[in-house]
A and B are shown apart, each in its own frame.
Chain A
Amino acid sequence: MSAFPGVVETAEAVNSGRRRAEDVARESLARIGDGDGRIRAFLEVTGELALAEARSVDARIAAGERLPLAGVPLAIKDNIWIAGRTATCASRILAGFRPPGDSTVGARLRQAGAVFVGRANMDEFAMGSSTENSSSHVTRNPWDRERIPGGSSGGSAAAVAAGFVPGGFGSDTGGSIRQPAACCGVVGFKPTYGRVSRSGLVAFASSLDQIGPLSRSVADAARLYGAVAGADPLDSTTSALPVGDPEGALERGVRGLTVGFLEEAQLEGLDPEVAANLEESRRIFRDAGARLIPVSVPRASVAIAIYYVLASAEASSNLARFDGVRYGPRASEESLVSLYVESRTAGFGAEVKRRILLGTFALASGYYEAYYGRALRARQLLREDFARAFASADVIVCPSIPAPAFRIGEKTADPLTMYLSDIFTVPASLAGLPAISVPSGLTRGGLPLGIQVLGPAFAEDTVFAAARAFEIGAEFPDGLPGLEA
């Protein structure tokens, strides 16, 4: 047993009566108390609420219930509504906002026995790849505290990597679960668009947003995903298709599967250690019995361009609701227009303003067809590219990140360079496909890298099977990064 039990292990210990949920929660809170001053993964630690929830789980276990996430402490990204807590998206404009209740994901996790220990830091409104855009503070990478944890779900990823919690949840619009997972050496999974309800997730780009888990193993990710997946009458984009059996698929292996390696991942200028790591992943899949083929998704090379039109356009529309009338601080009472302008100007940070401006530009009269319309049509071509690729491959593999976690402050002056951090994660987002990042090794400097496995829509079981086979072969170190002062 590892010193820091995972999701499945914790739930089994609590279900069997070997451990009490309250003790598990106290240990998690103690680790956060000891270490989070150096990592700053959390915006708020909700200790008393978590202990009350843990006691409630203990009562349910004593009454004979068996729960898939019995007593599992979780870090929840600050854009997912959890009853009794504020949900601010790490933004000043939502300071103090108290949601009316649980998101669907929150309610399902609660029903499954999870315990919510804290609100995890994030890039404001999930816009960013480094968690530097939080209005509160920068979260540090547990592997190297001078470096970013990735983003936007950087708080959740860092909390799992540091061993504060066995699991967490984030949201992924263009890579915001998978990219920080790779930067922090943990597993991060984005389900198919429509698998997990977005009800109670603060909207960024509604055609892309999906909630998903972060954990220290593929099996833990499958358990967490299974607890929240499935149709929800409160989100009309959720699918009625059966969720399948992600945990049952874990040990199916890849013998007989065709693994396609994405040709467009062979970028000029790809970090040599990432390239070597990708080569090593070929060996792992081959040794595990998979058939390897090259696959091409030609429009993956323009995915970032498509994404920054569509995501920004949707964001500019979604964020129009934040105007000082219904939520958050109000900055002026002079006139209605001044109320809107001053509240938004004071409430949003620079990156959020940049995306709103970009989206407003792309939707403006005279530019709409040239930018938004063209990007929509290009997105359809990308989907068709993937459909062709999946006609010959069961899963597609590529790196999760083009380079290991960069230094804090390194890319803040150049938004475009920051945007390109998501070059390998955005294609699956635009096509709505399930994709998982699995830790794949360390650089010579000791920084984690990740390999990504993509599947056809709603083929989560196959993705988990391939990811588990890769995890076995990759032998990523089980220990935690040192958190000594």
Chain B
Amino acid sequence: MSSASRVVTPQGVREIASLARLRLAEGDLPRWSEQLSRVVEYIDQLEGIPEEAFGAPAAGEPTLLREDDPRPGGGEAALAANAPRRLHGYGVVPRVVGPGGG
């Protein structure tokens, strides 16, 4: 398959990867493009379901909400201990405002 006819072009893959916060090697883009295009072309068979087959959207199951009562928590400290960098109980990230922010 030529890249021009692919559903997901190498340039498209690069843009999707950027949205997904992933970096793909430039040299690998054609292979990603080919694999994703094959899957998307397979998925495109859903276009074969005629529009009239779809009825009115079904009402979803109502979400059952529990009572808004305070309960003991626990586990926060153990969970936070998994952060790769911590300071005073908080996770540390690079500066996002001011000089050097980004």
> Which of A's residues lie within 8 Å of B, judged by CB?
96-101, 233, 236, 240, 299, 302, 304-306, 308-309, 316, 320, 323-330, 333-342, 344-345, 348, 353-354, 356-358, 360-361, 364, 371, 374-375, 377-378, 380-381, 415-416, 419
CA distance A419 to B20 in the complex (A): 22
Give the residues in chain A near B102, CB-CB below 8 Å.
335-338
CA distance A375 to B24 in the complex (A): 28
* Chain A residue nearest to B38 in the complex (CB): A416
Give the residues in chain A near B57, CB-CB below 8 Å.
377, 380
**Given A341-B21, A380-B58: A336 and B38 interface contact (C-beta under 8 Å):** no
Contacts between chains A and B (CB distance < 8 A), count: 140
- The reply to whether A334 and B46 form a contact with Cβ atoms under 8 Å apart is no
Give the residues in chain B near A335, CB-CB below 8 Å.
94, 96, 100-102
- The reply to whether A342 and B23 form a contact with Cβ atoms under 8 Å apart is yes
**Given A330-B85, A336-B94: A305 and B45 interface contact (C-beta under 8 Å):** yes
- The reply to whether B35 and A354 form a contact with Cβ atoms under 8 Å apart is yes
Give the residues in chain A near B17, CB-CB below 8 Å.
357
Nearest 8 A/B pairs, CB to CB: A100-B75, A100-B78, A335-B102, A330-B84, A360-B20, A345-B23, A340-B21, A305-B43
Q: Which secondary structure dominates chain A's binding surface?
A: helix
Give the residues in chain B near A99, CB-CB below 8 Å.
78-79
* Chain A residue nearest to B80 in the complex (CB): A326
Tell which of B12, B48, B91 touches A326, judged by Cβ atoms closer than 8 Å: B91
- The reply to whether B36 and A361 form a contact with Cβ atoms under 8 Å apart is yes
Give the residues in chain B near A374, CB-CB below 8 Å.
46-47, 49
25 A-B contacts, Cβ less than 8 Å apart?
Answer: A97-B82, A240-B64, A305-B43, A316-B20, A323-B21, A324-B84, A325-B93, A327-B82, A333-B94, A336-B94, A339-B94, A341-B21, A344-B20, A354-B32, A356-B22, A358-B39, A358-B40, A361-B40, A364-B19, A375-B46, A377-B54, A378-B49, A381-B53, A416-B39, A419-B39
Q: Which of B20, B44, B75 counts the most A-chain CB atoms under 10 A from its CB?
A: B20
Least Cβ–Cβ distance between A87 and chain B, in angstroms: 10
Least Cβ–Cβ distance between B9 and chain A, in angstroms: 12
Give the residues in chain B near A236, CB-CB below 8 Å.
63-66
* Chain B residue nearest to A374 in the complex (CB): B46
Total interface residues on B, CB under 8 Å, equals 51
CA distance A329 to B82 in the complex (A): 10
CA distance A354 to B35 in the complex (A): 9
- The reply to whether A341 and B23 form a contact with Cβ atoms under 8 Å apart is yes
* Chain B residue nearest to A236 in the complex (CB): B64
CA distance A257 to B12 in the complex (A): 52
Tell which of A299, A309, A344, A371 touches B22, judged by Cβ atoms closer than 8 Å: A344
Least Cβ–Cβ distance between A310 and chain B, in angstroms: 10
* Chain B residue nearest to A301 in the complex (CB): B45
**Given A236-B65, A360-B16, A415-B39: A325 and B91 interface contact (C-beta under 8 Å):** yes
Least Cβ–Cβ distance between A348 and chain B, in angstroms: 7
**Given A325-B83, A361-B36: A101 and B49 interface contact (C-beta under 8 Å):** no
Give the residues in chain A near B66, CB-CB below 8 Å.
233, 236
Give the residues in chain A near B76, CB-CB below 8 Å.
100
Give the residues in chain B near A333, CB-CB below 8 Å.
94
CA distance A358 to B17 in the complex (A): 10
- The reply to whether A100 and B74 form a contact with Cβ atoms under 8 Å apart is yes
CA distance A422 to B2 in the complex (A): 29
Interface residues of B in 67-87 (CB under 8 A from A): 74-76, 78-85
Q: Which of B53, B66, B74, B75 counts the most A-chain CB atoms under 10 A from its CB?
A: B53
CA distance A141 to B39 in the complex (A): 28
CA distance A378 to B23 in the complex (A): 33
- The reply to whether A326 and B39 form a contact with Cβ atoms under 8 Å apart is no
